[in-house]
A and B are shown apart, each in its own frame.
Chain A
Amino acid sequence: MIDLKKSDPQFKWDIIRKEGGEGLLKCFGCSDCAASCPVRYFDERYNPRKIIRLTLLGMKDEVLSSPFLWFCAHCHACTERCPQGIKVAELINAIKNYAVDQGYCPEGYRMQLDLLLKMGRLYEVEDFDLKKRQRLGLPPIDKTIPAVAKILEQTNILKVLKK
């Protein structure tokens, strides 16, 4: 049940301002995104159309606190089909980015950010890996890439780790 008394009219404009959120207002609710979604095919709790409609209606808390927002696999099946030309996967991603800004960040993403901050890559390169690569005739790789931390420190992203 949607309680419009809880609507935040600012919400949609905040999303539109995010990278990837530009197309939000063009949605006329046809459901092509939901129909083409492989995640929804297996789990009806995820519905891109519903997320977009709730966002347009300003149901901020409901959208941001929903665990299903994170079910989007970013596969772009919806992007290909949207008759309005909305980059739907990018739009859902913009809503995820906004949710992170508001303090909703799944633990897995926080861990990945931490790894990239420390190493610049997702998997630790151990001496064992370097020896294995040498044995296989593969060239050495850097254990850490500090330039990534430099970029992360210059954007706002590290505040996510402080929560």
Chain B
Amino acid sequence: MKKYALFLGCTVPVRAQHYEMSARNVAKELGIELVDLAGASCCGFPLKAVDAETSLLIAARNLALASELELDVVTLCNSCTAMLSDAQVQLEHKDFHKKFKDVGLSYKHEVKVRHFARMLYEDIGTERIKNAVKKPLTPLKIMAHYGCHYMRPSALYSFDNAEVPHTLDELVQLTGATSIEYPDKKMCCGGSVLGIDEELAVTMANHKLKIAKAKSADGLVSICPFCTVMYEDNQRKAEAKFNTQYGIPVLYYPQLLGLSFGLDDNAVGLKFNRIKPTALLEKIKGD
């Protein structure tokens, strides 16, 4: 049985419990044990623009907790993944390690950092996931949104393809749904500039919503709570700004996967999706 330390970050445990619930339940179905990382804090990313070194120390402290448990870390947020991965690399450098020790931390057992989706793809493998699918979501057309920090910067990850990513599309296809081919797949959701210029952030989010509508997507799949804030919570703002109607549900990947495993709506927390996936559910329940 695979065992990981689960790093929740700030947003997921209080704003995206449906992501957390579905991830935990999907993991259970696949025989993955997730150990909660007691004492974990913010990953540090929100402070990177203020002071990169401090943000790395906060990230490294979280790795130290996992190091004590001798467990690799699984994350649910793309930005947490990038921040913790960066700290992991930095810990190999003497200068940073010294600063880390100077604030009273220790890192004995080296740990790896994996986004939940990457863990599924690489460690569990597509074959095992496919075998767990009991209720293929064949009628669905899904738009897979990767988010920036899932595979960029590539020097940090050595995973997927930074220019033409494919792993999330493959994961979507495993559920039986069709993963739509579309342009500008790598486009940023705009989440990072939301606090700086909301108009710009909403304009960036609108780009993919517009494509999703044109491609008649039944839903958009996200693997990051920030991206979901942009595509789901700010969808109304995009509709108002661009004088259009979208009504495109945004599901976290483990929710989609859970549905294909035959988990019920509650187990994947569907009632917490702010844009109700009613039409999407109708399609798959008709089978």
Q: Which A residues lie at the B interface, using CB under 8 A?
A: 18-20, 38-39, 42-43, 70-77, 79-80, 87, 89-90, 93-94, 96-97, 100, 105-106, 108-109, 112-113, 116, 120-123, 125, 129, 132-133, 136-139, 141-142, 145, 147-148, 150-152, 154-157, 160
Contacts and interface: CB of A to CB of B under 8 A. Distances in A.
Interface residues of B, number: 55
B17 A122 contact: no
A97 B188 contact: no
Contacts of B163: 80
Nearest to A99: B49
Contacts of A156: 51
A75 to B, nearest CB: 4
B21 A155 contact: no
A157 B41 contact: no
A156 B203 CA distance: 36
B277 interface: no
Given A39-B204, A80-B152, A112 B48 contact: no
B57 A75 contact: no
Given A39-B200, A77-B188, A151-B103, A157 B54 contact: yes
Contacts, number: 163
A87 B153 contact: yes
B13 interface: yes
A68 to B, nearest CB: 9
Contact of B53 (A19, A75, A120): A19
B10 A122 contact: yes
Contacts of A139: 36
Contacts of B153: 76, 79-80, 87, 89
Nearest to B56: A19
Interface string B173-190: 000000000000011101
A64 to B, nearest CB: 13
A162 to B, nearest CB: 13
A96 B58 CA distance: 19
A109 B57 contact: no
Interface stretch (B107-115, B120-128, B191-199, B247-255): B191-199
A20 B104 CA distance: 24
Interface in B16-46: 17, 20-21, 24, 36, 38-42, 46
A29 B187 CA distance: 24
B69 to A, nearest CB: 15
Given A71-B196, A75-B188, A151-B57, A109 B204 contact: no
Given A97-B52, A109-B47, 19 more contacts: A71-B197, A75-B192, A77-B188, A93-B48, A97-B50, A109-B49, A109-B195, A112-B47, A112-B50, A116-B46, A116-B47, A121-B42, A122-B46, A123-B11, A129-B14, A136-B17, A139-B36, A151-B54, A151-B103
14 contacts: A19-B52, A38-B188, A43-B203, A70-B193, A77-B186, A80-B163, A97-B51, A109-B46, A112-B50, A113-B50, A147-B61, A148-B58, A151-B61, A155-B57
